[in-house]
Amino acid sequence: MSSGQVNSGRGLKSVNRLQGERREDRIGLRFLKPKVLLTVVGMTAALYFANMFFANRELEKRKNAILDRQEHVRSSLGSYYATLVSKAAAWIPSEAGAYRGDVSERIDFAAGTFAYVRLHLTDAQSTKSVEAGAREAQRDALASCFASGEPKEAGEPLIWPIGGLFRKTEALQAPFVEEVRETITAKRIEFLEWRFKEAEAAQLAEARRMFGRLQYLLVALDEEAGAGKTDLSLLQLEEHPVRLAVLRLADDHVVLRRKLTMTPSSAGVATASLEVLHAMRRNASNCDVGRAARMAALAVK
């Protein structure tokens, strides 16, 4: 065999060996690519779940900070509202029963501040209905004219509807707690943190001041007119009896009880819309009743 043939054979073997190695490399890469992909996916998933873990831990930490602060405030301020509603719910049903006669004792209108609730007589006969009505209570002309003698009070209000007190303390109530607990995003918890901070600085601070001044609870109970209307906005346009009673909160003593008649007012202007006309007449009739009760209390020496 010539030297050229030997070299040619060796060259062919080298080429075959290189081709074999390349085939092995390609086969190895085929098996290697899924492994690399699985490794990348696994690392990405691990980073994602680690990030979720730390984000959720931070979220829970921020939730607990709000709830701890809320509980701290509620332990003092919240008890005032609960006590006030409890007193109202225990007392008002007794005033909604058979009328127990007039009472007139001295009321300190100069220094006293009143909580207020107004209900239809039929909605004042159970604890549950009184509690529900108290949360919705609003100020009206009857309340303002009783407390100050005028439909609108100047300066610091002398009478606060229990519903207004409830709304001042919404950040302490169960719905706010549930909203905090169910929050799943950092953006939402940031909003709730801001909301509670604002409530502490404004509504809760005002509620604390108001609760600190309350001395009396005024209740007005509208009895059905001949037409049997239970909607107070309609009932107040008709002649009907209204019971007013005042409870002194310090000792749960009734200092005023009167049963007055609300007479429809003719107040208003001819050019006013029916809605405005009704509102003006309700205000006038309510103020007359409030002033009459106030005069009865002021007559006591």
How do residues 123-147 score in pLDDT, each as one tens digit? 898 999 999 988 888 889 999 999 8
Q: How confident is the model at residue 56 (pLDDT cuts 50, 70, 90)?
A: confident
DSSP assignment of 201-262: HTHHHHHHHHHHHEEEEEEEEEPP-TT----HHHHTTS-EEEEEEEEETTTTEEEEEEEEEE
Q: What is the mean pLDDT of the chain?
A: 81
Give the model's pLDDT for residue 44.
Answer: 72
Tell me which fold the domain 90-168+202-298 belongs to: Rossmann fold (3.40.50)
Continuous segment of H or E residues that includes residue 60: helix 3-73
Q: How confident is the model at residue 59 (pLDDT cuts 50, 70, 90)?
A: confident
- Per-domain boundaries in the chain: 90-168+202-298
- The C-alpha atoms of residue 119 and residue 90 are separated, in whole angstroms, by 15
